Chains A and B, each alone.
Chain A
Amino acid sequence: MKVLRRAGVDVTFPADQTCCGQVGYNGGFEQEAREVALHFMDVFDGDEPVVVPSGSCASMIKIFYLDLFADDPVLLERAQRLSERTHEFSDFLVNVLEVENVGAAFSGTVTYHDACHLLRELHISAEPRALIEGVSGAELAEMTDSDRCCGFGGLFSVKFPEVSAAILGEKLENIEASGAEVVVANDCGCLMHMRGALSRKGMRQRAMHIAELLASQSGLAVGQPERPEA
């Protein structure tokens, strides 16, 4: 929110919003997912761009709503319009606002984890890296296999906890080997997952959402003229 406002965007937060419906959709519960998705479409009706801070939620809205409503021409058309105006956070900054430097400052080495849906559904990988490199003082250190899943997978993480934790273990090793103090990801699922194990293992690395990084110690003066975006 801070970052968007600093970039001059007039942001609103529709008060009735809850969930995009991905939990049910990925579990095979299409009917339940449809009801939740309909609620989302009602809440986010309109023409403004919708900015989503998590790659998998953004994929759900941009890609999987089209599947969910494929059999209903009216709803499908609504889903299509919503899909076009929905952007994942880093995509919105870099490709819509055309901003790569938001005036953030952070001292330390940062590694980036490619969240699966963001990378393979939305094909976004250069944008977050450009934003990290735009942070003054931050150094981007790529980890091995940054594009490999962290093992979260929603309900997968509780259905098969041993397997999920083993996949996560490899991710943590790669994070550690990168030498970075911070791992950035644009997906709340991956972040919760990585944070959970970093804290359990008492590791010194921190997991941060890209917005947290971009909001750090901003060098931008408060009260800069507002841009008439969004």
Chain B
Amino acid sequence: MTLVKSSQFRKASAAAVRSPKIQIALDRVMDHFVEARAHALEEFPPESWEQMRERASAIKAQTLENLDYYLDLVDRNVQRNGGQVHFAADAAEANRIVVDIAKSVGAKQAIKSKSMVSEEMGLNQVLEREGIEPVETDLGEYIIQLAHETPFHIIAPAMHKSREEVSDLFHDWLKTAPTDDIRQLCMIARSALREKFATADIGITGANFVVAETGTVVLVTNEGNGRMTTSVPRVHVAISGIEKVIPAIEDVALFLRLLPRSATGQRITSYNSFISGPRAPSDEDGPEEFHLILVDNGRLNLLKDPEFREALKCIRCGACLNTCPVYRKVGGHAYGGVYSGPIGAVVTPMMAGIKDAKDLPHASTLCGSCRDVCPVKIDIPKLLLRLRQREVGGSASERSSTWTERLLMRRWRSTVLTRAALERSASLGRFLQGPITRRNRIRKLPVPVLGGWTKARDFPPLAPKSFATIWRDELAGDGRG
């Protein structure tokens, strides 16, 4: 992955917490998503929502177990429909395939519907280098493309941008008059994009699902840009992670119930496109060529690891971000990678290497609420825990715990392994805390690691007597209190 800077989580997260702009945006949008989801779920009895999750999770598990079979089926069925399938091992290969296709038709301009895989690939930069102008057509993606940023949230990529900032961006790039009217801002984007839709040579999209049995790419959008991207240009290139495959067309119904409700709280998104190959001779419109690029880019690391395979069930709804107490305070950019929040903290280290993203598995309180909202029941806290275990006792390429962490844990172990050791440490603690305790609280802990606690919170001093002592001296023989 090209954009990972996840080792900076510590600094970036602290900066995000201090940014009033980011905090205002997070407060507003996260609450909106959480409430909308809760409202959308009210129409089901909890058991039936649970049954849908179980079923979706089982379908994904079964598909991942037999992924080679299903990928082969996709390949054959897309070809039967008149399209072409390309397999790409990594971002560079996927980029090369896109560039080759674009050049083969002499493309100068590409329009894009939202695709997280293309963010992984850094496709826009590559296209620009090759002299092909990429234009994002999802409004949020368009805004962050103009701002040269990465998505802040998986389904609301520009949620951190205020209307004033968007107005400034449009003013800078499109020379439009500043406005704080959101409707007018949308109209500016609309007219700028209409022109691009009409003139682009190729349309590039992601894929929400790839149906093996029919060779169909399913796209879910709210702005209609996906449909324009797949129907107006002469060539349609769909890019998908290999894990997006589901077996049969009837499975789509289930996933289309789960995805929008989990993501935006909608019962259904405004546009659901099913694309099976290029225009047929009897069709009046549609692209002449259809390409599907299936990208690995680190996914096989997860697939071949039985402990982590379940992370590939993810349908990228973003519900785990919205509910996560950490994401809700730090936002997406702090995570460094393309994928943020709890699921990002799992897949980024597995795709990019545990050592390169070593803070991420710890960027969680393990509160478990991500697991409870996940529409495909990924046990994210367990996976974060497994990553932490790999940092300590994994293979040489995974081990990355620091010596202070190891020392601290060894100290802890020997302190709590016997009661006598614990009492000795407590006595020492009582002696040391004397000078720093005022009115039964410690306002500043002058020790590394623990010192962070007292920046915003008091620390409780050890009680004069342990409960074990009170028990022995006062309570044990007492019978009842």
Where the two chains meet, the residues of A that have a C-beta atom closer than 8 Å to any C-beta of B are: 1-2, 5-6, 12-13, 15-19, 21, 23-32, 35-36, 39, 67, 116-117, 120-121, 147-149, 151-168, 192-193, 195-197, 199-200, 222-223, 226
Partner of A32, one of B17, B410, B451: B410
Cβ contact within 8 Å between A163 and B326 = yes
The reply to whether B391 and A24 contact each other, CB–CB distance below 8 Å, is no
User: Can you name the residue of chain A whose Cβ is closest to the Cβ of B457?
Assistant: A196
CA distance A31 to B417 in the complex (A): 13
15 A-B interface contacts by CB (under 8 A):
A1-B471, A6-B480, A13-B467, A13-B471, A13-B475, A17-B468, A28-B385, A28-B390, A30-B392, A121-B368, A155-B362, A157-B452, A160-B10, A167-B328, A197-B457
Smallest CB separation, B227 vs chain A (Å)? 38
Say whether chain B's binding surface is mostly helix, strand, loop, or mixed. Answer: helix
Contact A196 B458 (CB under 8 A): yes
With contact pairs A15-B468, A32-B410, A196-B458 given, residues A162 and B368 touching in the complex (Cβ less than 8 Å): no
B329/A166 in contact, CB under 8 A: yes
The smallest C-beta distance from B328 to any residue of chain A, in angstroms, reads: 8
Interchain CB contact under 8 A, A167 and B329: yes
Q: Are B365 and A156 in contact (CB under 8 A)?
A: yes
CB closest residue in chain A, given B419:
A16
Q: Told that A28-B393, A39-B418 touch, could you supply 11 new A-B pairs with CB distance under 8 A?
A: A13-B476, A16-B418, A25-B385, A26-B366, A32-B409, A158-B453, A160-B10, A163-B330, A197-B456, A197-B457, A200-B457
In the complex, the 3 A-B pairs of residues with the closest C-beta atoms, listed nearest first: A153-B365, A28-B388, A196-B457
Do residues B362 and A159 form an inter-chain contact, with CB atoms below 8 A? yes
For the complex, what is the distance from the CA of A195 to the CA of B410, rounded to whole Å? Answer: 28
Contact in complex: A163, B329 (CB < 8 Å): yes
Contacts of A120 in B (CB 8 A): 367-369, 371-372
From the candidates B18, B325, B410, B417, name the one contacting A162 in the complex (CB within 8 A): B18
The answer to whether A29 touches B363 (Cβ under 8 A) is no
B positions within 8 Å CB-CB of A: 10, 13-14, 17-18, 325-326, 328-330, 361-369, 371-372, 382, 385, 387-393, 401, 405, 409-410, 412-413, 415-419, 422, 441, 443, 449-453, 455-460, 467-468, 471-472, 475-476, 479-481
Measured in the bound complex, the distance between the Cα atoms of B173 and A154 in whole Å is 47
Name B365's contact: one of A12, A24, A152, A200 (CB within 8 Å). Answer: A152
CA distance A2 to B478 in the complex (A): 11
Residues of chain B contacted by A21 (CB below 8 angstroms): 416
Interface of A is mostly: helix
Q: How far is the CB of A171 from chain B (nearest CB, A)?
A: 9
Taken together as a complex, chains A and B put the C-alpha atoms of A142 and B325 apart, in Å, by 19
CA distance A37 to B310 in the complex (A): 28
Q: Which residue of chain A is the closest to B460 with respect to CB atoms? A: A192
Q: Please measure, in the bound complex, the distance between the C-alpha atom of A120 and the C-alpha atom of B13, giving whole angstroms.
A: 26
Contact residue among A29, A147, A148, A151 (Cβ-Cβ distance under 8 Å from B392)? A29
Contact A162 B392, beta carbon cutoff 8 Å: no
Contact at A193–B457, with CB atoms within 8 Å? yes
List of B residues within 8 angstroms of A147 by Cβ: 369
Whether A5 lies near B471 (C-beta < 8 A) is no
In whole Å, how far is B349's beta carbon from the nearest beta carbon of chain A? 12
B361 proximity list for chain A (CB < 8 A) = 28
| Contact residue among A28, A29, A156, A200 (Cβ-Cβ distance under 8 Å from B443) | A200
Q: Please state if A156 and B412 are interface contacts (CB–CB under 8 Å).
A: no
B412 touches A24 (CB 8 A): yes
Contacts A24-B409, A26-B385, A28-B388: A163 and B366 contacting too (C-beta < 8 A)? no
Shortest CB distance A66–B (Å): 12
B422 touches A18 (CB 8 A): yes
Q: How far is the CA of A101 from the CA of B328 in the complex (A)?
A: 38
Complex CA gap A35/B363 in Å reads 26
A192 contact set on B, CB distance < 8 A:
460
Q: How far is it, in angstroms, between the C-alpha of A163 and the C-alpha of B367 when the chains are bound?
A: 14
A16 to chain B, nearest CB (A): 5
Known: A18-B416, A151-B365. A28 touches B471 (CB 8 A): no
Shortest beta-carbon distance from A227 to chain B in Å: 11
Complex CA distance for A154 and B384, rounded to whole angstroms:
14
Query: Of A29, A151, A165, which one neighbours B409 at CB under 8 angstroms?
Result: A29
Query: Quick check: A36 and B413 within 8 Å, CB to CB?
Result: yes
Task: Report the minimum CB–CB distance from B190 to chain A (whole Å).
Answer: 37
- Residue numbers in B under 8 Å from A193 (CB-CB): 457
Please, how many angstroms separate the alpha-carbon atoms of A18 and B416 in the complex? 5
A221 to chain B minimum Cβ distance, whole angstroms, is 11
